[in-house]
Structures are given as structure tokens and as C-alpha cells.
Structure 1
Amino acid sequence: MWSSKALFAAALVLFLAGCGFRPLYVPPEEDASGQGVYAFDLFKSISIANIPDREGQYFRNRLVQLLHPAGRSGAARYVLNVTLNETRSSLAVQKSAVATRANLTVTAQFTLQPVGADGSAGYGAVKTISGYNIFQSEFQTLMAEKGARERALDDLAQQLRIRLAAILTTTESTPKQQ
């Protein structure tokens, strides 16, 4: 007899195979030129536009570290434009109306545009929330907020990296000729 877990696993495999699901870390498929391409090899073709403000500079540097760990080589085929938006909300308010905890919500809206072409290869937004304590000391609070902001930007960079891999693999993949 088949167990319900085995039937569920088999159904899940068939469903994912039918919808075009392809893991990002599988061995490469051949591209149009007949060469194998890993999803993350495609990051070399992305140029990251400057992002305003200190937070934007930190975020861009983190993206450069994630997308181009060995440096970018070759001509850019895509330009990544990112806009950051940050909001702060107070939580855990005491009876005296003093907040002791806050959340920092950071959203990155992005557009991946082909160089020299109109339109976009992909666009979207990634969002994260990072919390920190509010202390009586202003310096402690500023350092806690800075740490929360950096954690949020690091998380956004990781999320954006995965989204870009998904966009590039669907953009770059072509049907195989038989």
C-alpha cells in the first residue's frame, strides 16, 4: 500500500515538473550558443546603477559583493535600477506613551533593463522588516537602529539576488531544439 506521504511527494514532483519549475542550483542547461550556463553565472552581465543616500550606497556595495564576488567581467547586458524606501513604526509602547521597541520596514523596488533596449527584463519589489530596541540612551538607540538597518539591507540584497536569478534564467533560457 502507498502511504499518504509517498503519494503526496509523487504528486508534488509531477506538479512541479509540469509547471516548469527548475531549481536554480541544478547543473547548467545549454543556452542558445550551446554552452552550459549556471543561473548565477548570468550575474556577470548586470551593471548596478548608483543608489542615492548612505543606505543606498551600503545596499549597492552589498549587491556588488553578492552578484560580482570576483569582479564583473565583460560588457554589461543589463542595468539594475533600485529605489529604497524605509519606514519606522513604534511598538511596545509603555503606559507613559514611550516606545521601547521599533520596527524598520525597508522596501527595494527594482527594474532590470536590457542595455540599449526599451522595456524591462524584469521588475518587482522585495521587502523586509527588522526590529530593534529603543533605549534611554540616544547613542544606544542609534546604534541599534543602524544595526537593524544593516540587517534589513543585507536581507534585501539576498532576496534580490534570488529574484534576479529567477528573472535571468527565464529571460535567458530558450527552448531546446530537437
Structure 2
Amino acid sequence: MLVAAGCGWRPLYERPSASPTSGGAGAALAQISIDPVVPKSGLGPLISGSTDSLYDSRAAQLLQNYLKNALNPYGPPNTALYHLAIELQQELRAAVSLDNGQSTREDLVMTAEYQLNDAKGEPVMKDVASIVTSYDILREPFSDLSSRRDAQQRAAQELAQGIQTRLAVFLKK
């Protein structure tokens, strides 16, 4: 501990006092207003006949909620110093296939392109975060749907944690 303290290293989420507004990365993150997450998808389900845009909307909602809990646990800032804009994209890939071409395991790839803008709307940070989660396909409709939803929830939560960490590091520099 003494060696780490001697080199100037400090914990990322350190606060000078017990008050949540006393400073540190948590207080800096609380000054970010989160714009609605925009899903990148094709045509809507009524036009294309696909339910994929419903999954995209749900993933965007999940990511939005996880980010609100991570960045603004005490509510949105009254006067935000920053605005976070996010575009979210999902992709399904066959991870394991049988000889007949049927998938038995799929990867859900969730990618977020995000930009942190200052109060004037000028970009101060732009980055991309991506998460891959896998789930089994059992050829049972309910269990397949449950597996896909669970993978989507896990991916959104991990993506929010990754974005939170990157923003905290950026703001504490």
C-alpha cells in the first residue's frame, strides 16, 4: 500500500468525504445527462414482419436504465455539464452448428457507439464499446426466448458498466 501511495496512485472512485457529492468520479459521472439510447435497426416490425426491432428497442431501454442507475443513482442532474448520446446495435451470430447447419449456440454481439458532449453540444469524447454474450438454442420456443432475453440483459448490463468505467477514467484525467 505504501508503494502505491508513494507513486501518486489514487482509487478511481475515491471520495474526499462520505457525502456522495463530495467529489471523485461518482460526482463527475452524476453531472452527465443521458440522452435516449437510439437503436440502430432496419425497418420496423410492422413493415418488415420481423420482431428484431422489438429486441433492439428493448436492448436500448435496458442499456438506458442500467446507465441511469450507474451514472445518476440520485436522479438526473439539475444542470448537466455533459450529455451522453448512444447508438446501440445488436447482431446475432451462430457460434456452434450441427452438421445439418442448425445452430445450437448463438452469440449476441451488442455494440454501442457513444459520444460525450459538453453543455454547448461540442463533442469531448467519442468511443465504441462492444460485448459478446452467448446462449444455447434448445429448439423449445419458451426456453429459447428466455435464453435470448437473459443474454440481452447481461450484455446491456456489462455494456453499461464498461461505458461507466471509460467515462470515469476520462473525466478523472
- TM exceeding 0.5: yes
Match for residue 87 of structure 1 among 73, 87, 91: 91
Structure 2 counterpart of 1:133: 136
The residue aligned with 1:97 is 101
Which structure has the higher relative contact order (CA within 8 Å, separation 6+)? 2
Cα RMSD, aligned residues only: 2.3
- Which segments of 5 or more consecutive residues in structure 2 lack a partner in the other structure? 39-56
- From 150, 157, 167, give the equivalent of 1:147: 150
TM-score, length of structure 1 as denominator length: 0.75
Secondary structure of the residue aligned to 1:166 is helix
Deviations along 1:97-122, one digit per CA (max 9) or x if unpaired, are 2110011111111100001243x121
Q: CA deviation at 1:152?
A: 0.3
From 39, 42, 46, give the equivalent of 2:28.
42
- Conserved 8 A contact 2:33-2:77: no
| Structure having the higher Rg | 1
How many residue pairs match? The answer is: 150
Report the secondary structure of 1:96's partner residue. Answer: coil
State the AA in 2 paired with 1:165.
A
Contact 1:121/1:167 (<8 A) preserved: no
Kept in 2, the 8 Å contact 1:104–1:149? The answer is yes
Alignment correspondent of 1:109:
113
> Structure 1 vs Structure 2: percent identity of aligned residues?
28
Q: Is the 8 Å Cα contact of residues 104 and 136 (structure 2) preserved in structure 1? A: yes
- Structure-2 change in CA distance of 1:69 and 1:26 (3 Å): closer
Cα shift at 1:140: 1.4
> Which residue, out of 44, 68, 74, partners 1:70?
74
Where does the alignment leave 5 or more consecutive residues of structure 1 unmatched? 1-9, 29-34, 171-178
1:76 Cα shift? 0.7
- Residue in 2 that maps onto 1:24: 12
Distance in 1 separating the partners of 2:77 and 2:86: 21
Aligned to 2:164: 161
